[in-house]
Structure 1
Amino acid sequence: MDQLEIVKLELFKVPPRWLFVKVTTKGGIVGWGEPVVEGKADSVAACVRELEPYLIGRTANHIEDIWQVLYRGGFYRGGTILMSAISGIDQALWDIKGKYLNVPVYELLGGAVRQKMKMYCWIGGDNPDVVLEQAHEKIAQGYRAVKMNATGQMPWVSTIKDIKSVARNIKLLREEFGNEIDIGLDFHGRVHKPMVKKLIDELAPYDPMFIEEPVLSENNDALKHIYSYTSIPIATGERMLSRWDFKDVLHQGVVDIIQPDLSHAGGISEVKRIATMAEAYDIAIAPHCPLGPISLASALHLDFSSPNAIIQESSLGIHYNQGFDLLDYVKNPEVFDVKNGYLDLLTKPGLGVEIDEEKLKEGQKIGHDWKNPIWRNEDGNFAEW
């Protein structure tokens, strides 16, 4: 097992807003992970460095024990920064183990339950007015499902004019494509409880695939009122970080689709546990993934091994990816080809993504200081982004 002894960790902060970790073993096997919080890459990098002493000298094979030590060994547990650092490290360890055993990671998670995965991609910006053009682009790229923000910034109680404008974009898509595409709507936590039911009334005639994050995750207690109000599937979970965060919403039965992020919710190890918990409650999983190629590959291995995985988000062409995109750091971009709405089963060992380290080094020279915008309502009060 000496060849699996962890000897080195390297970090690459690269545009548009990503952080990669490279874990190297004594035998030269390399694993890649994506430990990042959008807008807090330096904080996560510092956390990875704080965790490094728990990794150097350990065998990369001991994925579960390492996860437990990283999560529980510091006394204080959870939080976006720690969980994202653990996530990237965990991804890299699974990558190493798959390469060592010469099998794709999903084989180590019980094997594939499907041969291809349904995919969706983002269209429009925060106030999308080019939705038709971008939807046609995504369909030409092979997608049959898209997602967009349902609203821009919204006050706690909106005007009737703002409420009526919410359905404009999904109405355009339904008129253009009929029922030939699926359309997810992301409330992005921008909407407060007083407005959710009214907005659902406006959107329901256009049959969204799901409504995502109808309220902020700290207000999940409101989901019981929302869930019983509509037949539109309710999705949430991108800001929930562990099985303990998901426990209550699963038990209460107030969500149809959970959306943990493989770079925030403890990596492959923890999200596999979350997916299995959800399956026991007959709830689907659709991992959140607006990030880079390693995070997406990790999500796909989870999808391929989870019977309740229904659709996978891809960041290809997302509006955040200015200047650099999902495939720019990948030597084998063909693994992410989407055909007739689906991505074929990955077959290469480990995560199956060959990272172009020279491109990473070029990107590292540029770096990034990405921050999400700060929004304010017309009266100057802070508005959720």
Structure 2
Amino acid sequence: MKITAIRTYRAEEFANVLWVHVETDAGITGLGETFYGAEACEAHIHNTLAVRLLGQNPLNIELLHREMVSLPNAQASTGVEYRAASAIDIALWDLFGKVTGQPVHTLLGGQCWDKVRVYNTCAGTRYVRTNKIKPVDTWNLGDAQTSPYEDLDAFMNRADELAENLLENGISAMKIWPFDPAGIENRGMFISAEQMKTALKPFELIRKAVGDKMEIMLEMHSLWNLPTAMEIARAVEPYAPRWYEDPIRMNNAQALAEFARNTNVWTCASETLGSRFAYKDYLDRDAAHVVMADLCWTGGLTEGRKIAALADLHHRPFAPHDCIGPVGFAAAIHMSFSQPNTLIQESVRAFYNGWYRELVTEVPRIEGGYVYPMEGPGLGTELVPQFFERSDLSTRLSEAN
């Protein structure tokens, strides 16, 4: 079997997402995805990777992965090179599953769990849907909403009601980021007493409404300098959060280790890290209690399982990231089921009940606060037929000579 073509797709409405098809002479096609900087990732795939991949055996996944991430500048980052390689790698695993007739989690080592607990990242229906991602400007606070899943507006204004609603639906863990407005306004340099009080309000409302029935993860989006991040951690700690995620920029393991030593709450890091080599530095310095990885950014499923194994070596739980597209979400589900140290799977109900269904044939089944294994060979999902008829769709093709 040989790779005969690589085809990429971008839709203006979902400007952050890039989809890729790896086509073969056996008539089998693998589906992959990456997120953010879609046009740049597309260019790297066709201008740099295609010449190295076309004509190769797609089942030699380790070999092709090494080829893609060993290029100059493609070293331990979540930059364009790694995001592009991630999309191709996910597609190769999907293709492998279709060749063997097995779901990807079986090929990754088999199913470790009958079901995996999820938490709800409290984004809204339009969150990260535009081409602007940082600072996030898709808050839509105060807008007239028609979806029942405008959870970002809810955690900022009605956190108690949101927590009660999630529990009613069996979801007992939620992630929020009420400190972001202050972080963006002050460029992460400080937080005023009034801003602190405002940002703590959701925690107060949740604990008053549901007590300790709800686990709360605090997402800090790498917005803060170290002293201010530790000040926030001290203020939030009485509300017993599950973890603090990315409190500072993930470019200094020693600084994050100092943060981790100064709180009794777990430190989670980080979807912004690329490759197992970056994670090793953080784990060696005791900087992360929970290892989070985004398979669309950190090197795909091939690198993701090595990161999970590295976390297990350090007796750390693994928690795949998802605030991206539907194919990346499916890949994360397969990874979660195949790893013995999976703690919990991120999910966004505004996405899997919303725009994901506009794009793919199958969305993972989530019921009662748990996700269940994807069925069918490969990833178990495809782009819907009407996707290829979109008026805002652009495509690019590289073929073997």
Hey, what's the Cα distance between the residues in 2 that align with 1:330 and 1:141?
24
Report 1:71-220 matches (<5 A).
71-72=69-70, 74-78=71-75, 79=77, 80-123=79-122, 124-125=151-152, 128-139=156-167, 141-151=169-179, 152-154=181-183, 155=186, 156-220=189-253
Structure 2 segments unaligned to the other structure (5+ residues):
123-150, 396-401
Corresponding residue number in structure 2 for 1:243: 276
Kindly indicate whether the alpha-carbon contact (under 8 Å) linking 2:163 and 2:214 is maintained by their aligned counterparts in 1: no
| Amino acid paired to 1:184 | M
Shift, 1:226, TM fit: 1.5
Contact 1:91 1:298 (C-alpha < 8 Å) held by counterparts: yes
CA distance in structure 1 between the partners assigned to 2:339 and 2:212 by the alignment = 27
Alpha-carbon separation, structure 2, partners of 1:213 and 1:91 = 25
Which sits farther off after the overlay, 111-120 or 83-92?
111-120
Stretch moving more, 60-69 or 50-59: 50-59
SS of the aligned residue for 1:53 comes to helix
Which shifted more, 224-233 or 60-69? Answer: 224-233
Q: 1:175 Cα shift?
A: 1.6
**Counterpart in 2 of 1:57?**
55
Change (3 A) 1:212 1:330: same
Q: Which residue of 2 aligns with 1:32?
A: 31
Q: Which residue of 2 is the match for residue 288 of structure 1?
A: 321
Helix, strand or coil at the partner of 2:117:
strand
Structure 1: where are the runs of 5+ without partners? 368-385
Aligned positions of 1:332-371 closer than 5 A: 332-333=362-363, 336-362=364-390, 364-365=392-393
Query: Secondary structure of the residue that 1:179 maps to in structure 2?
Result: helix
- SS in structure 2 at match of 1:261: coil
Matched AA of 2:203: I
Contact 1:144 1:340 in 2 (8 A): no
How many residue pairs match? The answer is 356
CA-CA distance at 1:186 after TM superposition: 0.3
- Give TM-score, length-normalised by structure 2: 0.83
Q: 2:103 corresponds to which letter in structure 1?
A: P
Amino acid at match of 1:107: T
What's the offset of the Cα at 1:366?
8.7
**Alignment identity in percent?**
27
89-98 vs 202-211, greater mean Cα deviation: 202-211
Distance 1:312 1:364 in 2: 32
Indicate if the aligned counterparts of 2:253 and 2:281 stay in contact, CA closer than 8 A: no
Following superposition, the deviation at residue 274 of structure 1 comes to 0.8
Q: What displacement does 1:253 show?
A: 1.3
Q: Which amino acid aligns with 1:92?
A: A
Query: Which is further off, 203-212 or 10-19?
Result: 10-19
Cα-to-partner distance string for 1:192-237 (whole Å, 9 max, x where unaligned): 1111222112211211111100111013321222212211111011
Deviations 1:166-188 (A, max 9, x none): 21112111222222222111011
Counterpart Cα distance in 1 of 2:385 and 2:120: 26
Normalization by structure 1: what TM-score? 0.87
Give distance in 1, aligned partners of 2:233 and 2:388.
43
> What do you get for the CA RMSD once the two structures are aligned?
2.2
What is residue 125 of structure 2 aligned with on the other side? none
Give the counterpart letter for 2:62 in structure 1: E
